[in-house]
Structure 1
């Protein structure tokens, strides 16, 4: 494979360090993905900017960005949640990102840091959206990309990956198998791992911008609830962290999962602290079908954040997800994949159960565009 000349990327927030949330170790900001002492999850620690909010440029280099982030917050008719709901219903429309999902935010930041640290190529395990984002941004930056997907990945997502020129490898079984195969490729090639679980701390760190955006778009008055389609959970952390950065407190978060793959929701329902891996994931919401078998501690971190917000993790059935997806398209003009509609589906169930009040303000994050999975509409 011929390597392209790497683009010039300005230094991004050099005052960084990595912190292990398990053993409290501090490390320099290198291409490391787990704590070398205990194997714990790493997070970025950076100085808060003085006199202004975080900016995209604090995370993403000029040579990398494609204009990701800054997505609209739309107010919808309240009866789209339920006929008896009289509060406010809003959607954060992440389908507007360059490759069609919120994964662009993570990939742009992770790729910027990887190139700044001398990476000559990237690898990403993906259920589809992260792979499309990684392929897209690698094409723009002129670096090679290898994307590893489960063999059941929707064809629309595979088409994107191939269109951007990445090398696609498919593996049998669930997402955890793709995750392990991507790690092996990184070990063999020396490429940077841009897998968008909690594995790449620089990508996760950039998601604090989505929480900040929501806070500012809500005119500094947080909603009562934010529903978030959730796999391992970096988006939950981003919303949590962004609100903490700007407001010092967080709205109640709903980690929305599918009943066919709900390790975090199961642990919440059972009152557990630690999340166990899920056996045999089976759901139309492919973007949240990660069983967390290889890294259940990531689910445990997400669960702790949900509880800290006084929120909950909740699993909704595929029928409810499909109905929400259709209603978003036909009643709000928002064409999304099943995963993206899981947030509205969960909010609907929780309103019927009485958890969400009739006058509450609810934000649903819609994470991926409908073109990602045309088969879900047939």
Structure 2
């Protein structure tokens, strides 16, 4: 935030202003693609080398697909989805974690630690297991059980911290400082890991004929915004992209510190006092590190972008719409993108003929309910099955026999 350079073996926040630290942009001319699969194709532009590609589980290289049904619902002709929920652990976090674990291996770290509301937990646990490193994961006490279970399944030590995400963040940061562990918390606390998120921007440029007008990003602290904007800036400086896309950052109504500052016209973000949302993936109150939000806010404004908030019920409806109409099972934090696009299109902020790409950042399988609700009702035989099916209008219309 203050623009002063620093050299730290274990990256953390700025020693001068307390703001987030990021790596310098890759200078032009940009290194050529390596030919390796996924995000490792851009290893020369990221703080990793092909020597650590053995850590890869196929992260990156996720497809971009047209939003066949949602485009009409949003009244946007050129609406597309980047399916980052198809990364190995089920979220975009793998882009950062793969690079962060490579850093941990290179620095001979004894362990990795992270705070997570869910997706980073599973990602950190999986890549740490692959690297043979112990993983300690701290999660808010109200974390979806499925997300905690995934981290435990990979052998991580999972501890639930009383209170919200910011409490878990503070505990992880203290443990990293005390024991010299690499902190893979996916705020801006680890600039090496955050740089891995640039891969999403490089890939979009490869996959699309031209720079999209808008890229829609679910936002907690916002490092994915940094990754995408930085990648496009690098490519523009190198003559590989003509312009920057505008960023539409999406937050939950019950935890929206960055969107609140955007609406107020403020330059700095204030921590959110009380989290009131079930959209766990983007429920970061930024308490103790509001400069993360201020930096993300600055990036959004520099692209000419916007911020939007989405309610829990709206996000839940978008989850169902994507699953039923598009065949995509997405968690509510990512499905909220769709609600935000529809709202900003209605206001005229997004034009009907503009190209919009929604980052679908997390798989919905981790947040499904358990037990009978998922398995469906129990029936004794075909006759009872027919009775159950007649309750579904779309099926019953064809059951004429």
How high is the TM-score relative to the length of structure 2?
0.85
Structure 1: tracts of 5 or more residues without a match: 1-20
Aligned partner (choices 43, 50, 53) of residue 57 of structure 1: 43
Tell me if the contact between 1:81 and 1:344 (Cα under 8 Å) persists in the aligned partners.
no
Aligned partner (choices 200, 213, 217) of residue 228 of structure 1: 217
Q: Match of 1:18?
A: none
Q: Structure 2 matches for 1:200-219, cutoff 5 A? A: 200-219=190-209
The answer to whether structure 1 residue 360 and structure 2 residue 354 are counterparts is: yes
Alpha carbons of structure 1 residues 364 and 84: separation in structure 2 relative to 1, 3 Å? closer
Rg larger for: 2
Instruction: Pick the structure with more helix per residue.
Output: 2
Deviation at 1:359, TM superposition (A): 1.4
For residue 123 of structure 1, give the secondary structure of its aligned residue in structure 2: strand
Deviation at 1:38, TM superposition (A): 3.5
Deviation at 1:189, TM superposition (A): 2.4
| 2: CA distance, partners of 1:48 / 1:71 | 25
Tell me if the contact between 1:82 and 1:348 (Cα under 8 Å) persists in the aligned partners.
no
Tell me if the contact between 2:141 and 2:162 (Cα under 8 Å) persists in the aligned partners.
yes
Single out whichever of 332-341 and 83-92 deviates more from structure 2: 83-92
Q: Structure 2 matches for 1:74-93, cutoff 5 A? A: 74-77=65-68, 79-83=69-73, 85-93=75-83
| 2: CA distance, partners of 1:280 / 1:38 | 26
Tell me if the contact between 2:74 and 2:338 (Cα under 8 Å) persists in the aligned partners.
no
For residue 323 of structure 2, give the secondary structure of its aligned residue in structure 1: helix
Q: Match of 1:350?
A: 344
Deviation at 1:23, TM superposition (A): 4.2
Deviation at 1:82, TM superposition (A): 4.0
Q: Match of 1:322?
A: 316
Q: Match of 2:301?
A: 307
| 1: CA distance, partners of 2:105 / 2:2 | 28
Q: Match of 2:96?
A: 106
C-alpha root-mean-square deviation of aligned residues, in Å?
Answer: 1.8
How high is the TM-score relative to the length of structure 1?
0.90
Count, aligned residues: 355
Q: Match of 1:166?
A: 156
The answer to whether structure 1 residue 32 and structure 2 residue 26 are counterparts is: no
| 1: CA distance, partners of 2:341 / 2:363 | 20
| 1: CA distance, partners of 2:118 / 2:318 | 21
Runs of 4+ in 1 over 4 A off after TM superposition: 46-51
Aligned partner (choices 179, 184, 191) of residue 194 of structure 1: 184
Alpha carbons of structure 1 residues 53 and 334: separation in structure 2 relative to 1, 3 Å? same
Q: Match of 2:141?
A: 151
Q: Deviations over 1:179-206 (max 9, x none)?
A: 0111222233221111110000011111
| 2: CA distance, partners of 1:303 / 1:217 | 27
The answer to whether structure 1 residue 263 and structure 2 residue 243 are counterparts is: no
| 1: CA distance, partners of 2:345 / 2:3 | 39
Q: Match of 2:392?
A: none
Tell me if the contact between 1:209 and 1:238 (Cα under 8 Å) persists in the aligned partners.
yes
Aligned partner (choices 242, 249, 260) of residue 231 of structure 2: 242
Deviation at 1:134, TM superposition (A): 0.3
| 1: CA distance, partners of 2:106 / 2:76 | 49
